């Protein structure tokens, strides 16, 4: 038999060389993602194959990252220069587990022929993972689910693809490489180091960047001049003097709102809104004072300080019939577990008030009939110190939970909106009914907003002797409305 005859005899049994196909590479890379063995005989490694897979991976990253951003964006081509340390470590891992070529073998289609074969499969696997997770994360972002997700979901979205990809890489290397302990240890170290570099030490920069938002001009510190400080006493005298007097035989409602946290617009809006609701719905127009810390109202409003609060309560007590009329107080700010209502009026040293302070001032003024509303985190701690038979006290949360909606972007707190702007403004004149309805509304809205520390659980406690006065007031207001 001649040499050519021998070649002809062997040729029918030899495995045909696979045609270059990117679809085959992606298909086999996807198999490794679900922890299946790749069919090595269906793919062929070459410099062109690995280059094309890498380029496709880069262009996929460019396209998906652009879809993450609405509106104009700037392309940063230098992002393509990052991340190559992980590539070098992956090459090391491939040569560590398969240092010598083994040659293609049709009878063993699940064995890689050499390290180049392995490395090309790793790139194909990374491309398959980028397609799957890139589309999934884009879907989560566009559906709005990520905006509603809590911190644990964000951590999961970051860790899951990293862990998944790492396990798939190591399993493929162990299956396709030689069973040498030193080689496998080197591969584990190389892949672990590449994961740390890629996800922690030197994360790859984004190809696209949204235009930087213009920074808000830093506000200058408030200047508390001697004239402004002295003006407060004059304003107190004028505004208390302008309060309408009590009407004999009529249970009138006097109101006092207190918003001590300057810089948070939500508290100013809520204070104004509550004052408006009480004036319109409870016939309290001309019988209310607003105490507010805000840079725009330094010379025309009473500041929300403990001393002004004490003086305002005493001033209202002098105008009202303390045996017949009702004083409504609404406090809105951030709250602390210890029961303090946060105050901020920098550079003025604004002290926080406590439930004990408020009760002391009310007792000293001789005001019997009280409706007290506290819109703050942990405000349930105010219930017991303020409660008595002549008081209705209600809060935005219990003593163990935060309330919701006191951020800079909130138009109103969840409690203020549900209790006052929706229930008392239009639906009822009963504080108890409004509070019961608001609890259900707040629970639903907190759930939809993804509040992660539990239901705020607004509280209310009604003294037995305050009910007749509130019923009498509600009856009169109902008759006026008819």
DSSP state string for 299-318: TTSB---HHHHHHHHHHHHH
Rounded distance, CA 83 to CA 465, Å?
Answer: 73
Q: How confident is the model at residue 104 (pLDDT cuts 50, 70, 90)?
A: low
Q: Which residues are CB-neighbours of 482 under 8 A, at least 6 positions away?
A: none
Rounded distance, CA 471 to CA 335, Å?
Answer: 31
Rounded distance, CA 300 to CA 302, Å?
Answer: 7
CA dihedral 446, 450, 452, 453 (to 10 degrees): -10
Q: How confident is the model at residue 472 (pLDDT cuts 50, 70, 90)?
A: confident
Would the pLDDT of 8 be above 70?
no
| CATH class of domain segment(s) 227-481 | alpha beta
Spans of all domains in the chain: 16-209, 227-481
Would the pLDDT of 91 be above 90?
no
Q: Output 346 or 409, whichever has higher pLDDT.
A: 346
pLDDT for the residue numbered 360 = 96
Q: How confident is the model at residue 439 (pLDDT cuts 50, 70, 90)?
A: very high
Would the pLDDT of 262 be above 50?
yes
Model confidence over 66-89: pLDDT tens digits?
A: 877 777 888 877 777 777 777 777
> What is the token pair recorded at 322?
């303390």
Would the pLDDT of 15 be above 50?
no
Average pLDDT over residues 385-395: 96
pLDDT for the residue numbered 14 = 43
User: For 344, phi and psi rounded to 5 degrees?
Assistant: -150, 120
pTM, entire model: 0.59
Q: How confident is the model at residue 370 (pLDDT cuts 50, 70, 90)?
A: very high
Would the pLDDT of 6 be above 50?
no
pLDDT for the residue numbered 10 = 39
CB 229 within 8 A of CB 118: no
Q: How far is it between the farthest Cα atoms of the chain? A: 131
What percent of the chain has a predicted confidence (pLDDT) above 90?
37
């Amino acid at each position: 038999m001649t040499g050519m005859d021998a070649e002809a005899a062997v040729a029918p049994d030899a495995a045909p060389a696979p045609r270059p196909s990117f679809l085959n590479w992606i298909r086999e890379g996807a198999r490794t993602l679900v922890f299946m063995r790749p069919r090595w005989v269906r793919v062929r490694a070459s410099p062109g194959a690995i280059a094309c897979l890498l380029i496709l991976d880069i262009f996929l990253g460019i396209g998906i990252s652009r879809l993450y951003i609405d509106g104009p964006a700037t392309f940063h081509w230098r992002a393509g220069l990052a991340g190559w340390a992980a590539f070098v470590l992956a090459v090391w891992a491939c040569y560590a587990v398969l240092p010598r070529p083994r040659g293609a073998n049709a009878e063993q289609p699940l064995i890689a022929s050499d390290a180049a074969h392995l490395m090309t499969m790793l790139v194909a696997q990374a491309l398959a993972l980028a397609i799957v997770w890139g589309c999934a994360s884009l879907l989560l972002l566009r559906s709005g689910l990520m905006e509603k997700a809590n911190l644990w979901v964000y951590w999961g979205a970051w860790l899951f693809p990293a862990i998944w990809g790492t396990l798939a890489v190591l399993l493929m290397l162990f299956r396709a490489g030689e069973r040498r302990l030193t080689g496998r240890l080197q591969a584990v170290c190389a892949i672990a180091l590449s994961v740390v570099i890629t996800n922690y030490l030197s994360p790859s920069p984004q190809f696209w960047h949204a235009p930087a938002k213009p920074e808000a001009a830093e506000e200058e510190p408030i200047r508390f001049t001697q004239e402004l400080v002295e003006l407060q006493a004059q304003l107190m005298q004028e505004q208390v003097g302008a309060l309408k007097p009590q009407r004999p035989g009529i249970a009138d409602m006097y109101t006092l709102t207190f918003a001590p946290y300057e810089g948070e617009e939500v508290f100013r809006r809520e204070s104004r809104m509550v004052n408006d609701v009480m004036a319109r719905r409870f016939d309290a127009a001309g019988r209310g004072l607003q105490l507010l810390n805000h840079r725009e109202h330094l010379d025309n409003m009473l500041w929300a300080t403990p001393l002004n609060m004490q003086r305002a309560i005493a001033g209202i007590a002098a105008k009202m019939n303390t045996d017949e009329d009702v004083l409504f107080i609404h406090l809105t700010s951030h709250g602390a577990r210890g029961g303090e209502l946060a105050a901020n009026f920098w550079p003025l040293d604004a002290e926080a008030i406590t439930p004990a302070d408020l009760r002391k001032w009310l007792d000293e003024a001789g005001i019997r009939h009280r409706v007290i509303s506290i819109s703050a985190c942990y405000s349930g701690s105010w219930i017991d110190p303020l409660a008595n038979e002549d008081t209705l006290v209600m809060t935005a949360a219990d003593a163990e939970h935060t309330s919701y909606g006191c951020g800079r972007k909130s138009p109103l707190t969840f409690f203020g909106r549900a209790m006052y702007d929706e229930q008392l403004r239009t639906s009822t004149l009963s504080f108890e009914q409004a509070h019961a309805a608001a609890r259900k509304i707040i629970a639903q809205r907190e759930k939809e907003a993804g509040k992660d520390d539990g239901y705020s659980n607004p509280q209310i406690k009604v003294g037995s002797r305050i009910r007749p006065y509130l019923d009498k007031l509600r009856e009169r207001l109902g008759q006026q409305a008819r």
